[in-house]
Structure 1
């Protein structure tokens, strides 16, 4: 019975090593597993160091923003140079590099109106009118209206003197005001209508009524400012945004992110932890059951509670995977979609194994359609353990990959799909960057348990060099730069390599200031285990290698290490069997 692996997959920790499918792994670390072969993940590309430690990063107009706490940021649905975010105090709007509170102050004093001059209204034609006004910013944001003015009896042909205007605050870039006059319909309904826009001022103004005919109805009558503790901001189709406070779910006026009418509020049964958008629906993750909220306008949103007890335990663990939203629960990774909420890691990890990863600590992102989460926990010896878990849900059989990395924050660029990690609170790296060299991957096969002990006599590992042109060019540039730096140090006798030439700790013992040259040599090894003991290590690709004889074993495993692509493994009794 030979062993043949020609399509590689990841871990299913819930199963015993001997029960795994033939192409799955007991250990899959730092390997991509995207094309059926074993290809290592590239090293991270250093991008930038932040001035201050942070937990949230966001790239806005090619500039990195950061905050020391969890912040939810969304680009504006109406302008390319605006960013809206919550979590850093009151909700904010960023325009270019300027930051303002999102809430718009409104005039608090009512206008005073009177008939201009000494004329009086015609008793047969008189009607009662009122006035109000709003402030408008440079960004076309309109405030709520001022309280209605005093009532005034008026008839056609009379002009109205309007006074009591106030100047708006200077820190929100108000530059004009809009004046509204009331009109009552034949059915007795009274509404305000736009009549005039002018620069902000305090001077009285005369409404020449014949020149200022009514136009559109006052749009901001039922606008409300966003709550100061609004958080969890997400963007939805049709110009909507959503956020939450406690159990209350808020929606903004379509295409008006500064207005959050309270009439749109929906209330859940549990405290909301975070939000996610898939299609035209909103996933609402809570401390209890999740919800799906759907609709095309904020006044028609319907809320459905999903009858599964799968609370969300980490807001930073919520990730948009396209038409699904993934989040960590105490029992495993949950995916919310149009079909409901499903525990996707039920067949991958037991609840105990999942709990050992401390899902409460998850910081997550997405890359190539996969869920990546950084986790941290303290083991039984009191040692802090950190790592990254990659969950692939794209195929018929989900699997896991582990990576020797960690992150305090993640950001997936929606334009390029690139994933950025925040390491050590200050350093930003691009994950698996195209031009970076491959790291070392480790992949250990299942335990192949034979019906009777045997001795395999030959192994063939098939593979190829998978370095990209971008990697080769980057390596060449870095090598030439290192050689140039080293030549300058050598020519000036400033290598610091002589005894006592450098302070203790500046260079390693017997070292120097010279930069090591990265040769970029391929590395590869395959270790064969028989009944749990290493019996041979192979360093050659695409060449049959004989295995030691003189023993029998009933359980065989193969472990691959290195930075080369492996496409197949064959373990057979003799070289002649490879031809078959």
Structure 2
């Protein structure tokens, strides 16, 4: 009776070592396990040296941006050279490498309107109002100034406007737009653009017949983003979402500087973080999660998911492409169109999960897997990889400890900050690392002595040498160390054991390992 292992799998901590499936592992470290073989991850590759520890990293073209604080960074839906940032003080926009406050200040003083000369015709007169806005070099328009005094006016009369204010420093505001009201036959009064001019405190004369009405004032309901807006995420149709406390905010489509309060949705619990899949926002809270779905900010509908699975780490929220994953006190949760599921239920116990201290998670995605660095209750920091793609989820480990992670969706590459370096995870051009894989405990019916061992091993491209060691463990004691590959190796005799394990340490690809009583049995 031989012990033969192929189709290698990862760790399933919930299951006792003797009860694992034959291909499962007690230990799977620095290993991929993507194709059924034991294949090591590649050595981390330096992408950038840092001068200080980074808690957020972002690849902007060829340049790495770093922050010493935890922030959310989102590319603009309207221009390639802009980024939007929340979480480190007031929200900001980075345009062409220059950082500005995201909020566009609005004029606070109303204009004064007066007839230049003449008297309104009492039979043809109407009441008109004026306002104005400031416009930045990024074509962002502010909220309007308070409405001017109501002015009785009739056609043919010029109106003089005074009281224009200059904008404060801090935002590149170069224009102002002047609006005049018009009342329809149905009695609806709206404001329409009549003139755009350079920023100036000088007065303006609305000359009769020269300033026809143009588009309607778009920013009447705009509001500046709150100073403590956090958790920014991009959405389809030019929208963005973020939050403050229990309130979920949406920006005006394609206007990331405008966050109308009329779009606010309020949760029952304080929001921890957000994730987007399809046209829906997964809202992770300190209580039950929510799904908010819609194609425009004024049509978003909110559904509370009836599961008691709070989120314990905003930095542990990951977009898996088809769903959003996050750490709860019970385990890893995935939210998608089917709701919220505790996907780690059959993989790891609550106590085992709690010992990882999920509140410390800093996570991202790689090859469809959930990758997270953590600082456990006891022991050194490390990295955990959870594979959810197969029928049986499994775990692998690595020694890396990231303070920040960044997944480059364009190239499917994962980067992480560790110490004073940004490193690429499993870079294609790097040499293979050393990995460790340890089998289950094979508990046999009786005490036996296996006499030979065989490992099928292939050297990996990029490795200068092939390194392989198999440790044979019998009843908890190492009885042999084998470096021979692709041929039968003899094992020591003179003892009997009931419980057998095999531990492999290698920088090569291992496709099969086996213990047997004779070479003939291995070749069968």
TM-score, reference length from structure 2: 0.98
Aligned partners of 2:355 and 2:377 also within 8 Å:
no
Deviation at 1:38, TM superposition (A): 0.7
Q: Which residue of 2 aligns with 1:549?
A: 493
Is the CA contact 2:432–2:460 (under 8 Å) kept in the aligned structure 1?
Answer: no
User: Are residues 1:207 and 2:212 paired?
Assistant: no
Indicate the larger mover: 130-139 or 532-541: 532-541
Does the aligned pair in 1 maintain the 2:357–2:377 contact within 8 Å? no
Tell me, in whole angstroms, the C-alpha distance in 2 between the residues paired with 1:552 and 1:209. Answer: 108
Deviation string 1:462-518 (CA, Å, 9 cap, x unpaired) is: 021112xxx36xxxxxxxxxxxxxxxxxxxxxxxxxxxxxxxxxxxxxxxxxxxxxx
1:249 is aligned to 248
Contact 1:48 1:429 (C-alpha < 8 Å) held by counterparts: yes
* 1:173-572 equivalence runs, <5 A: 173-379=172-378, 384-424=379-419, 426-467=420-461, 471=462, 520-572=464-516
Name whichever structure is richer in helix by fraction.
1
Q: Where has structure 1 moved over 6 Å in runs of 4 or more?
A: none
Mapped partners of 1:405, 1:245: distance in 2:
33
Task: Report deviation, 1:558.
Answer: 0.9
The aligned counterpart of 1:124 is 123
SS of match in other structure, 1:170: coil
Partner of 1:163: 162
SS in structure 2 opposite 1:438?
coil
User: C-alpha distance in 1, partners of 2:504/2:395?
Assistant: 17
SS of match in other structure, 1:525: strand
Displacement after TM superposition at 1:81 (Å):
0.5
Structure-2 residue corresponding to 1:86: 86
Contact 1:61 1:81 in 2 (8 A): no
| Corresponding residue of 1:148 | 147
Q: Does the 8 Å contact 1:378/1:385 carry over to 2?
A: no
1:104-119 maps to which residues of 2 (within 5 A)? 104-117=104-117, 119=118
Q: Please state whether the residue corresponding to 1:377 is helix, strand or coil.
A: coil
Deviation string 1:72-105 (CA, Å, 9 cap, x unpaired) is: 1100010010000101100000012210000010
Moved more, 335-344 or 525-534: 525-534
Task: Tell me the secondary structure at the aligned position of residue 359 of structure 2.
Answer: helix
Q: Return 2-11 or 447-456, whichever deviates more.
A: 447-456
Count of aligned residue pairs for this structure pair? 524
Distance of 2:111 and 2:250 partners within structure 1: 31
Q: Could you tell me whether the CA contact under 8 Å between 2:2 and 2:522 is conserved in 1?
A: no
Distance 2:124 2:98 in 1: 52
- Give the CA deviation at 1:453: 2.6
SS of the residue aligned with 2:380?
A: strand
Q: How much has 1:68 moved relative to structure 2? A: 1.8
Contact 1:236 1:277 in 2 (8 A): yes
Q: How far off is 1:416 after superposition?
A: 1.3
Q: 1:170-201 CA distances to partner (integer Å, 9 max, x unpaired)? A: 32111111111101111211110111111111
Deviation at 1:378, TM superposition (A): 4.4
Deviations along 1:210-263, one digit per CA (max 9) or x if unpaired, are: 222112111000000000000011111111111111111111000000000000
The SS at the match of 2:77 is coil
1:372 CA drift (Å): 0.9
Alignment of 1:68 onto 2:62: no
Map Cα deviations across residues 422-444 of structure 1 (whole Å, 9 max, x no partner). 112x3211111122221110000
Cα distance in 2 between the residues matched to 1:268 and 1:182: 38
Q: CA RMSD in A?
A: 1.3
* Distance in 1 between residues matched to 2:170 and 2:472, nearest whole Å: 70
Unaligned runs of 5+ in 2: none
Task: Note the alpha carbon deviations across 1:349-388, whole angstroms, 9 max, x for none.
Answer: 1111111111111111111111111111342xxxx52111
Alpha-carbon distance between aligned partners in 1 of 2:340 and 2:69, rounded to the nearest angstrom? 28
Q: Deviations over 1:271-326 (max 9, x none)?
A: 11111111111011111111111010110111111111111111111111112111
Aligned partners of 2:454 and 2:514 also within 8 Å: yes
Q: Which 10-residue stretch deviates more, 73-82 or 149-158?
A: 149-158
Q: In structure 1, list runs of 5 or more residues that go unmatched.
A: 473-519
What residue number does 1:54 align with? 54
Structure 1 residue 330, shift from structure 2 partner: 0.8
Q: CA deviation at 1:459?
A: 1.6
Give 3-state SS (helix, strand or coil) of 1:299's partner: helix
Report how far residue 571 of structure 1 moved.
1.9
- Aligned partners of 1:351 and 1:438: how far apart in 2? 34
Length-normalised TM-score, structure 1? 0.88
Q: Distance in 2 between matches of 1:552 and 1:466?
A: 36
* Partners of 2:477 and 2:49 in 1: CA distance: 45
Q: Secondary structure at the match of 2:15?
A: coil
For 1:430 and 1:52, locate their aligned partners in 2 and report how far apart those are by CA, in whole Å.
18
Structure 1 SS opposite 2:354? helix
* Secondary structure of the corresponding residue to residue 38 of structure 2: coil
